[in-house]
Amino acid sequence: MNKTNENEPIFIDEYDYALPDERIAKYPLAKRDSSKLLVYKGGEIIESLFSSVADFLPENALLVYNNTRVIQARLEFFKATGARIEVFCLEPIAPADYAQSLSATTECEWKCMVGNLKKWKEGLLVKQITVSGKACIFTAELLQTEGNTHSVKFSWDNSDIHFADILENAGELPIPPYLHRKTEESDLTAYQTVYSKIKGSVAAPTAGLHFTAEVFESLKPKNIKIDEVTLHVGAGTFQPVKTHDIAEHHMHTEVISVKRDTIANIQQNLGNIIAVGTTSVRTLESLYYLSPSLSKGEGESSLNKTEIKLQVSQWQPYQQDTDCSAYDALQKILDFLDANKLDILHAETQIMIKPGYKFRIVDGMITNFHQPKSTLLLLVSAFVKGNWKNIYDYALENDFRFLSYGDSSLLLK
């Protein structure tokens, strides 16, 4: 049995560094793949450009990226008094499935954050929207509050219009708050990866923003394959760690979807898996920890329901017997999918990857430079065995650009 004690103290102050505002990239570069690339392997650092990333990737590797697409999740309403209310859609409640909720034609319910809540204690928020020449009256009703999030029911009076249409026409793309600027027209393209297709995220999987058609073409001579998973990025990705000890931090939950063929592809390429972004890392590593519940027969009751029952909890990797090989763990998922005639695995993950974590599936990652005192920085530290400070010091000293629109790194074991 191989377990790690989740109660071993890890203090977030040890993952702080000075990030001057001028080092935060407020806008992307004109050409995505012209960003700088820091390559870290075996304690050594090499500086290059992202357009040359194929030169540093191992031959025959499998590159796995997150195909989620950012939705225009920020809605603005004005009350008759003139008060401005902002409603930020986080995740669907009814229907709970993203595709079904975005396809809704008269109403749906979402978990939201609300700006200027004190001005919206009761009553409906109303605005008129026109979609492709079709008009509708769109309303928001506050149902209940849980912590700092709120259940909001949206309704509209034209069944020819889907909720996705409403967001695209009336919503605003939610660029990261640390950019300290409003969303601009250029962000509608720049803040999406070139391969994004499954709508549902409120933040981009930013490691993928560097990829271009030319970069994908450069992978072919080394027989580097590509595949995709889906993890819808929630606003929790920007949630700072406010507790002194990371053990007291509550990790956000995210929805993942992985095709059966992708799981088989990963299984056949174990030992050479490169994840594009921390969201792909979290998805791939979560697969390992889903298998025990499947082998116990759990999850079957959810097959004919929209609710997702399969889940990886925050501390599960540190509490669970981990003697099972990655190959066998993935085989259990494949057997489960085959037994239930399923082509896609749907689940939720709350996985916390922190120093001391043993990576089961991921052998390398492409990732941007993250905020101080963040869970993403903890994940990076776990992968580079605590050597994150040398990497970040180099990036700061050599004019790398930080955060979502910044430069990139390739971290290899």
Of 2 and 26, the one with more pLDDT: 26
83 and 229, same structural domain?
no
Q: Tell me: pLDDT of 207 over 80.
A: yes
- Nearest 5 degrees, angle CA 195-CA 396-CA 235? 45
Model pLDDT, residue 9: 81
Distance, CA of 165 to CA of 178 (rounded, Å): 28
**The pLDDT of residue 301 is above 50:** no
229 and 278 assigned to the same domain: yes
Three-class HEC string of 108-123: EEEEEEEECHHHCCCC
- 229, part of any domain: yes
What is the total count of domains within the chain? 2
- Considering the domain architecture, whether residues 102 and 227 belong to the same structural domain is answered as no
Last residue of a domain, one of 140, 172, 204: 172
Query: Which pLDDT belongs to residue 197?
Result: 96
The pTM score is 0.91
**What average pLDDT does this structure show over 130-140?**
93
Please indicate, yes or no, whether residues 102 and 223 belong to a single structural domain of this protein: no
Residue 297, domain CATH: 3.40.1780.10
Cα separation, 111 vs 290, whole angstroms: 25
- Give yes or no for a contact between 139 and 125, defined as CB atoms under 8 angstroms apart: yes
User: Which residues touch 153 (CB under 8 Å, ≥6 apart)?
Assistant: 107, 108, 109, 140, 141, 143
Q: Do 30 and 132 reside in the same domain of the chain?
A: no
**Half-sphere exposure at residue 106, Cβ-oriented, CA atoms within 13 angstroms:** 2
Share of the chain above pLDDT 70, in %: 93
Q: Is 138 exposed, middle or buried (0-12, 13-18, 19+ CB in 10 A)?
A: buried
The predicted-structure confidence for 237-249, as pLDDT tens digits, reads as follows: 666 788 899 888 8
Please say whether the beta carbons of 282 and 361 come within 8 A: no
3-state secondary structure of 135: strand
And the tokens for 411? 């971290």
* Joined tokens for residue 317: 């990797």
pLDDT of residue 1: 38
Kindly state whether residue 49 falls inside one of the protein's structural domains: yes
From the centroid of its chain, how far is CA 311?
A: 16
Per-residue pLDDT tens over the stretch 53-83: 999 999 999 999 999 999 999 999 999 888 9
How does 25-54 read in b/e, with b if 16+ C-beta sit within 10 Å?
A: bbebbeebbebbbbbbeeeebeeeebbebb
Confidence of residue 305 (pLDDT cuts 50, 70, 90): very low
pLDDT in tens, 324-344: 999 999 999 999 999 999 999
Provide the β-strand partners of residue 145. 150
Asked if pLDDT for residue 29 goes beyond 90, the answer is yes
**Domain residue limits at 117:** 73-172
Q: Is residue 242 domain-shared with residue 385, that is, in the same domain?
A: yes
On the question of pLDDT at 299 being above 70, the answer is: no
CA distance 122 to 106: 21
Res. 303: pLDDT tops 80: no
Residues 238 and 176: their CA atoms lie apart, in Å, by: 8
Specify if 305 maps to a domain. Answer: yes
Q: What digits encode the pLDDT tens for the residues 362-404?
A: 999 999 999 999 999 999 999 999 999 999 999 999 999 999 9
pLDDT tens, 173-197?
Answer: 999 989 999 999 999 999 999 999 9
Average pLDDT over every residue of 203-224: 97
